[in-house]
Chain A
Amino acid sequence: MNEHARAHDLLPWMVNGRIEARDAAWLESHLDGCARCRAELAAQQRVRDAIAREPTVELAPQAAFNRLWKRIEDSHAIASNDAAPVAAPPRATRSERTGRWLKFVALAQAAAIAVLCVALWRSPPPAAYRTVTDPPPGTGSNGPVVKAIFDDQVRLADVKEILAASGLVVASGPSEAGVYTLVPRDAGAADIPPVALARLHADPRVRFAEPGAR
């Protein structure tokens, strides 16, 4: 295998950080003297950047989880009914039909969102799914807030640390899309201190933070 071909094969693993140290040393010295492979490196970095970008589709993992959990429970119920195979389905009731309708609404909504593919922020999800996103009743609803999304890997302890550093507290969230609504710890603050936003923006664990409306 000639040098370019070897370098060509190694480039993806340099681009995604999974190259062996020995190969990396060899590749770097090859790149120093080879414009063609440097151009290929730049090309592959662009491809990586395109692929690694988060889609702007907003997801509703909690609702999806609820659907899966229902399926799991149903399958357990069937399994435990094996001893009595003629047992009639317990109820084909109104609540079940309502459940199906809600499921349909959620699916249709999800599909529409995926197709439109533009809204990072959208109006609140239907009432049935609002339990986690509802701001606690009674919290002042007109004060300044920050909408923030943390990195997937961030743990609760990280969130606490980030908030402590920026002087904010969680008013509500995370929503199903992982959005937190943050407010100043000082309840009387008329505005979000710019330094708080700057702290959030500077923290690599924060994927998104902007002033927003409740």
Chain B
Amino acid sequence: MAAATTQQQQARDEGDRRLLARVAGGDREAFRELYIVYHRRLARFLTRLTRRYEIAEEIINDTLWVVWRKAGDFRGDSRVSTWIMGIAYRRALKALRARSHALAEAVPIENEPLVAPDELGAAETSEWILLAMRHLPTEQRLALEFAYGYGHSCEEIALIMACPVNTVKTRLFHARAKLRDLLPGLAGGGGEASSGANT
């Protein structure tokens, strides 16, 4: 899936804003439209995060409930998607904390690589990457989801996660380092890339 271009994202945001303005006026049909769009978008990272669809849906509904009530307060200083994602992010953290069991706890890191995917196909590589991501602390993992799953900019992710831009960079830095440790073949070409780096 190609990342949406900036133009596409702007067009999408304009559509979202029009819907949100109608939602603020209590328009059920507009709310339903917005809901369907965001259900799909949010379900992607939430089912991965919680690994349980019913919990993901609970978070989605909590999020959209806030959207319904606060639509009139949206000041338009960010994209609608950034605003909604920020609500979902806080709801997700809260839901995960409320369920103290191992639901979204990072799997403890062993320093053993998970696999040496020398010749894995693209689909298998993806499976391993998603598996390895479960070893990351939630914040690091979500920073990756927001950047790569949704194409948010560094500044937007800082807004969503309510943290400084540098924290986003640090989270991504650690996430990437950990993935590299877990999946030494990630860069492809077997040992070629790393030996090239020593020269």
Contacts and interface: CB of A to CB of B under 8 A. Distances in A.
Contacts of A9: 169, 173
Interface of A: 8-9, 12-13, 15-18, 35-36, 38-40, 42-44, 46-55, 57, 59, 61-62, 64-65, 67-69, 71-72, 107, 110-111, 113-114, 152-153, 178
B37 A111 contact: no
A44 B176 contact: yes
B82 to A, nearest CB: 12
A56 to B, nearest CB: 11
A15 B148 contact: yes
Contacts of A69: 28, 32
Nearest to A36: B197
B76 interface: no
Nearest to B194: A39
> Interface majority SS on A: helix, strand, loop or mixed?
helix
A39 B36 contact: no
B179 interface: yes
Nearest to A108: B54
B44 A55 contact: yes
A96 to B, nearest CB: 19
The range of chain B's interface size is 35 or more
B149 to A, nearest CB: 4
Contact of A40 (B6, B126, B145, B187): B187
Interface in B24-57: 28, 32, 35-37, 39-41, 43-44, 47-48, 51-54, 56-57
A18 B151 contact: yes
A47 B187 contact: no
B175 to A, nearest CB: 9
A44 B188 CA distance: 11
B102 interface: no
Interface of B: 1, 3-6, 8, 12, 28, 32, 35-37, 39-41, 43-44, 47-48, 51-54, 56-57, 60-61, 64-65, 68, 122, 125-127, 129-130, 133, 144-145, 147-149, 151-154, 169, 172-173, 176, 179-180, 186-189, 193-194, 196-197
Nearest to A58: B53
A153 to B, nearest CB: 6
A39 B193 contact: yes
A189 to B, nearest CB: 31
Contacts, number: 148
B122 A49 contact: yes
A149 B195 CA distance: 44
Contact of A39 (B57, B145, B189): B189
A57 B53 contact: yes
Contact of B54 (A35, A47, A72, A111): A111
22 contacts: A9-B173, A15-B148, A16-B152, A17-B6, A17-B151, A18-B151, A36-B196, A39-B193, A40-B187, A43-B187, A50-B125, A54-B44, A57-B47, A59-B39, A59-B40, A62-B36, A64-B61, A69-B32, A71-B65, A111-B53, A111-B54, A114-B53
B180 A43 contact: yes
Given A17-B151, A64-B57, A111-B53, A47 B129 contact: yes
Contacts of B61: 64, 67-68, 71
Contacts of B51: 114
Given A61-B36, A110-B54, A51 B144 contact: yes
Contacts of B169: 9
A61 B187 contact: no
A72 B32 contact: no
Contacts of B125: 46, 50
Contacts of A71: 61, 65
